[in-house]
Amino acid sequence: MSAVETTLVVIKPDAVHRRLVGHVIQRFEQRGLQIRAMKMLHLSEADARELYSVHEGKEFYEPLVAFATSGPVVAMMLSGPHAIDVVRDMMGPTFGPEAPAGSIRGDFGLSRRFNIVHSSDSAESLACEMPVFFSESDVLDYAMPDDAWLAPPEERAP
């Protein structure tokens, strides 16, 4: 059984400034993930601190907050079987130089900080991170006509 999950993805300011937004979204769509919500916004400093609060006190925290607020981001809620792990796998390891070719970070960057995308790493992180960007009512519920090809109903049980 493959439980359908929803996860948060944030396309970071480096990718927006480098005109990579469409390339990143295309990868998620062609994998079969469904876009349930999407918005472009400029994170406030308070929201960036909240989003990255688990890293507070680390030496990269202040530069990370500065980076996250340096320009607009594109936030999305994506759904699909095992979406949390599938998205993490598609992004690749955190640091660009360590990310394999074929992963988003491995194909689009070489930086440790400017690493193109962020996604929630667990249901617990999602619960903390999603309210920075979306309310439950922002997440649209609609059918995709190709669902049965991407994962048949018996693979979609909760």
Catalytic entry in 17, 42, 55, 118: 118
Q: Distance of CA 62 to CAs 14, 125, 129, 133, Å?
A: 17, 20, 18, 21
Closest residue to bound ligand CMP by CB? 118
- HEC-encoded secondary structure of 56-120: CCCCCHHHHHHHHCCCCEEEEEEEEECHHHHHHHHHCCCCHHHCCECEHHHHHCCCCCCCCEEEC
**Residue closer to ligand CMP, measured from CB, 25 or 87:** 87
User: Can you read off the two tokens belonging to residue 148?
Assistant: 């049965």
Q: ∠ CA(10), CA(62), CA(87), 5° rounding?
A: 20
- Nearest approach, Cβ of 111 to ligand CMP (angstroms)? 8
The least CB distance from residue 151 to ligand CMP, in Å, is 26
Between 40 and 157, name the residue whose CB sits nearer to ligand CMP: 40
Q: Which is nearer to ligand CMP, 2 or 70 (CB)?
A: 70
| 39 versus 112: smaller Cβ distance to ligand CMP | 112
CB of 135 to ligand CMP, least distance (A): 22
Q: Which residues make up the interface to ligand CMP (CB under 6 A)?
A: 52, 55, 60, 64, 94, 112-113, 115, 118
5 touches 127 (CB < 8 A): no
118 is annotated as an active-site residue: yes
Nearest distance in Å: CB 107, ligand CMP = 16
Question: Residue 41: beta bridge partners?
Answer: 73
User: Which amino acid belongs to residue 48?
Assistant: A
Quote the CA–CA distance of 18 and 12 in Å, as a whole number: 10
Query: Known catalytic residues?
Result: 118
